[in-house]
Structure 1
Amino acid sequence: MAPVNVSVIYYSSTGTVHALAKAAAEGAEKAGATVRLRKVRELAPPQAVEANPAWAQHLQDTADVAEATLDDLSWADAVLFGTPTRFGNVASQLKAFIDTAGGLWQQGGLADKVVSAFTATGTAHGGQESTILALSNTFYHWGGIIVPPGYTDPIQFQTGNPYGTSHVSGIGGAGSAPGEAVLAAAAHQARRVAETAAALKAGRAAS
């Protein structure tokens, strides 16, 4: 496989999406990619964070995770984005980061990157697919090459989301953490992304 760079960029309030992001990073690494795991900046006011003990604890637990910059986008051959669902849409923290990429987009620095997305919701049918599709709107504008997991591995028939890995975390993050099958699905999705990016890179080099 041609060497590729993969950025896993995510927002997580109580840790669910963080767990999926870590599994994705590990999956990409096992596929031979060089990986950057990056969280986006927390923008919620301190009083909102402190009102949810799980949120405040997760913020402390991930203090050592580097924050995403535009260099993480320009460096990458492929990017996986992770976000919890907010009313069927992308969390404002991740959207705020994406909105800073206008200059890079204008320079053509986001075109032809392999892109994919994963998410979590508080309830079943809580907007998982609509959130991933909302991120796809951004990818279309970039000229990104969207690579979903589809039903390309038996694990997808256990987790049931061909759009992107997803998990039901419970309201306020009070439910269960992602189990083995969901984490395996995130790893599979990232491997598929890394392998597709490598094939494209090798093909371009040979043309």
Structure 2
Amino acid sequence: MTNLAVIYYSMTGTNFQLANWAKEAGEEAGANVKVLKIPETAPVSAIEKNDAWKAHVEEAKDIPEVTLDDLEWADAIVFSVPTRYGNVPGQFKQFIDSTGGLWATGKLANKVVSAMTSAQNAHGGQEQTILQLYTTMYHWGAIIAAPGYTDPVLFEAGGNPYGTSVSVGREGMKENVEAAVKHQAKRTVSIASALSSL
């Protein structure tokens, strides 16, 4: 059975929802799935000023925080993080920067990795965020499982070949990306399963 870690960071819940869709699809594909959150490093004073942020912190209080042991456990990883100025959030980067010991001992090599993101608008750096995340994965020696254009649902979700991305406004997600997320997660599990049988 493939071990799939769905690792997310979310301020207001969008990437948490993407992670939960990925979990559902991973389980449908026969994987053993963990949903894990990136530790929050923002000051409480910042969170307290944003009602949606506070609400999501409460909503996700029982989701376990990701550890280095979880990365070692996983055969496949789906990351879901918001876009910050065309890059990953600082919270995510801080966690990734703690993986040097695993990397140095080869324990991150050959992990099958895919990534998703969200931003306020379609040209807010969504593709760039995923590509920046993948740059780190190349250093790990991971195998990138980008969705490409392997299913028509990707076009319905905006057509990002690097990973599912969604624009988010005050009313929530602007594109219907659930099917694209599920396809991407199943594809990631499928690739990891195929590699494990070699």
Class of the TM-score when normalised by the shorter of the 2 chains: over 0.9
Give CA deviations for 1:161-182 in whole Å, capped at 9, x if unaligned: 1110111112xxx331376x30
Match of 1:116 in 2: 114
Which SS does the other structure have where 1:119 is aligned?
strand
Query: Secondary structure of the residue that 2:35 maps to in structure 1?
Result: strand
User: CA deviation digits over 1:75-100, x for unaligned, max 9?
Assistant: 00011111100000001111111111
Structure 1: distance between partners of 2:70 and 2:80: 15
Structure 1 runs not aligned, ≥5 long: none
Q: 1:182 is matched with which residue: 173, 177, 185?
A: 177
Greater RCO between the two (CA within 8 Å, min separation 6)? Answer: 1
SS at match of 1:86: coil
Q: For the residues of structure 2 that align with 1:134 and 1:175, how far apart are their CA atoms?
A: 28
The 4+ residue runs of structure 1 with deviation greater than 4 A are none
Q: Give distance in 2, aligned partners of 1:27 and 1:175.
A: 25
Show the 5 A alignment for 1:26-41: 26-41=24-39
Give the structure 1 partner of residue 67 of structure 2: 69
**Following the alignment from structure 1 to structure 2, what is the Cα–Cα distance between the partners of residues 16 and 58?**
9
State the Cα deviation string for residues 1-41 of structure 1 (Å, max 9, x = none): xx210101110000001100110111111100000100011
Name the residue aligned to 2:194: 199
Percent of aligned pairs with the same residue? 54
Equivalent positions of 1:50-129 (< 5 A) are 50-129=48-127
TM-score of the aligned structures, taking structure 2 as reference length:
0.97
The amino acid of 1:175's aligned partner reads: E
Do the aligned partners of residues 24 and 178 (structure 1) sit closer, same or farther apart at CA in structure 2, a change above 3 Å counting?
Answer: farther
5+ residue gaps, structure 2? none
What do the CA deviations read for 1:149-196 (whole angstroms, capped 9, x no partner)? 1111110111111110111112xxx331376x3011111100000000
- Contact between 1:7 and 1:38, CA under 8 Å: does it hold in 2? yes
Q: CA deviation at 1:124?
A: 2.0
**TM-score when scaled to structure 1?**
0.93
What do you get for the CA RMSD once the two structures are aligned? 1.0
